Structure 1
Amino acid sequence: MSEKNNKKKKKNSQMIIRINDQERAQFIELCEELDTSAAREVRRFIREFIAKHNEQE
């Protein structure tokens, strides 16, 4: 990936969400079992959600 593209995708914002402790624990555990991270899966969800809703316009 070029340096220009790398800067464009820089992760520089945070989102704080409130979720049930039990759901969080289950989500983290499942991510670990699937060899992924919670942050990666949340980012993937956001990208897919945006793409899905952009298609509907």
Structure 2
Amino acid sequence: MADDKKAKKKKDSQLVIRLNKDQRDQFVQLCDELDTSAARELRLFIKGFIARHTPEDSA
């Protein structure tokens, strides 16, 4: 069953964004200092954004 759960959560897509180099560098540095990754923090933001903007009856 653990393998089924992993398969459902497989990361199989990318989102490419353009941003200011200084902002990117600050963000990555802060993530390093907080012992996390930029990708992890962006995924958490996206999940939260979806949860906040998805009506409860369609979840």
| TM-score normalized with structure 2 length | 0.89
Q: How many residues are aligned here?
A: 57
**Which residue in the other structure is 1:18 paired with?**
18
In structure 1, list runs of 5 or more residues that go unmatched. Answer: none
Report the identity percentage: 54
- 1:6-28 per-position Cα deviation (integer Å, ceiling 9, x unaligned): 00000010110000000000000
Q: C-alpha separation between the residues in 1 aligned to 2:9 and 2:51?
A: 16
Q: C-alpha separation between the residues in 1 aligned to 2:26 and 2:55?
A: 31
C-alpha deviation, 1:55, in angstroms: 4.1
Provide runs of 4+ in structure 1 moved above 4 Å: none
Q: RMSD of the alignment, in Å? A: 1.7
In structure 2, list runs of 5 or more residues that go unmatched. Answer: none
**Which residue in the other structure is 1:44 paired with?**
44
| TM-score normalized with structure 1 length | 0.92
